[in-house]
Amino acid sequence: MDKSEIKTIVFKAIEMSNNAREEGEQIPVSDQTELYGSAGHLDSMGLVAFLIDIEESFLDQGIEISLSDERAMSQSQSPFRSVQTLIDYIDTIVREISP
């Protein structure tokens, strides 16, 4: 799986999240979108739900990943800061588990 496929999954998860949001609270579908943190669009509960949607999308493709594990939480820079940092983080995980 390459980064463009990962990006598609992340963008679909944003769209799913937006379906449950009011029009003024939509998350921009962009690489530059801040997800979590002081400028982020997601609070902690929203982030967890968002990550679960992504994990389930990967599972539908036969790839089991965990995004909210100790590894993610122990990083000096959160992989959940923006869409791009999340895509990069997922890419690292997928490369490690794929032959």
8: Cα within 13 Å, side-chain hemisphere? 8
Query: How many structural domains comprise the chain?
Result: 1
Structural contact between residues 93 and 65, judged by C-beta atoms closer than 8 angstroms: yes
Structural contact between residues 94 and 65, judged by C-beta atoms closer than 8 angstroms: yes
Q: How far is Cα 25 from Cα 57, in angstroms, rounded to an integer?
A: 23
Per-residue pLDDT of the chain (99 residues; tens, 9 = 90+): 999 999 999 999 999 999 999 999 999 999 999 999 999 999 999 999 999 999 999 999 999 999 988 888 788 888 999 999 999 999 999 999 886
Could you give the 3-state DSSP secondary structure of residue 87? Answer: helix
pLDDT of residue 76: 81
pLDDT of residue 77: 86
Q: How far is Cα 71 from Cα 25, in angstroms, rounded to an integer?
A: 30
Residue 45: which CATH number? Answer: 1.10.1200.10
* pTM metric for this prediction: 0.92
Extract the tokens encoding 82: 């923006």
Domain that residue 69 falls in = 3-21+30-97
pLDDT of residue 55: 97
For 66-79, the DSSP string reads -SSSHHHHT-SS-T
